[in-house]
Amino acid sequence: MSFCRSFSLLAAVGLFLAPLPSADAFGPSKSAVQQTAETRLIAQFQRFATLTDGTVGIALRDLGSGETLSFNGDMLFPMASAYKVAVAGRIFAMVDAGQLSLEDRLPGPGGTPSIYTLLDMMLTRSDNDATDVLVARAGGPSAVNAWVMSVGVKGLRVDSNTADLLYRAMDLTPRPGNFARNVAAAMAANPALRERDAHDTPNIAFARDPRDTATPAAMTDLVTAIQAGKALKPNSTAALLAIMERCHTGKARLPGMLPPGTTVAHKTGSLNGTGNDTGVVTLPDGRIFVITVFVMQDHKGHELRDRIMAEAARAAYDYFLFAPDRSTV
């Protein structure tokens, strides 16, 4: 799909610097207009990254042209609850294979909710109990990970359910019994744990652990595969994205600075010092792009992390909306 936007419109929104002398590796040679627009976008990402004392990773892709850009796109970040996209994908793949139905009921939060209700709770409110019921029904973390690999995504690994992931993030040994009560007891006994939770500061060792991590590029690949219909059947694709469009968490993240009414199907992730969001954004003319923004090892707080995600999404939105016509390059 080409971008039908004029040079004058691009100049009006200030996307131009001095032309670059050479093209990059993405297909045909690019015009100076396109090269300078890309340079400006990456410079914006670099500026957003300086807002935090942690690390920022961004990857985005235009689903029409396939154009892909990134900043620290191949660096590993803790996924936190963003991994729930992969859990949902595995569950919907099982529906596609006739292994279960969305109407099936499982023991879970509030009684025996349907699998569809559990998916909704997991993706729109990031409910951890619902997630772990679904992880178990999916066959465990290894089965979720195998599904991710089966759709051709590399650089994303699922090693844990949510409870075990959180135990590790808090430096706690998993214990039998109720997770919330176990955590409350550990916090009551450990002032350092209470301090880290109260001040939203990172666990650096956890952030550097390769388990349950993804690169921004890999997460973008996964969401792209879902949106493009390459991972699931059409009905499952539509159902999954419809749930993600109703996401209640992270309203100040990817959607935070986009024009009112912009359709965003996304999933957030949060842990101490970590803030993530990944999703699909629809432009006014119907074109679509996927964007992932990860922030880790940040000590400045969730509002700052939210702002970085919102700024990055808006910069990408403006870049794709006013991008030069690819048919002429």
All domains of the chain in start order, with CATH: 7-21+31-328 (3.40.710.10)
Q: pLDDT for 144-157, tens place per residue? A: 999 999 999 999 99
For residue 180, what is the enclosing H or E element? helix 179-189
pLDDT on residue 198: 85
Q: How far is CA 187 from CA 182, 253, 298, in A?
A: 9, 29, 22
d(CA 308, CA 276): 10
pTM beyond 0.75: yes
Is 136 buried (19+), middle (13-18) or exposed (0-12) by CB count in 10 A? middle
Q: What is the mean pLDDT of residues 193-202?
A: 88
Q: pLDDT for 277-289, tens place per residue? A: 999 999 999 999 9
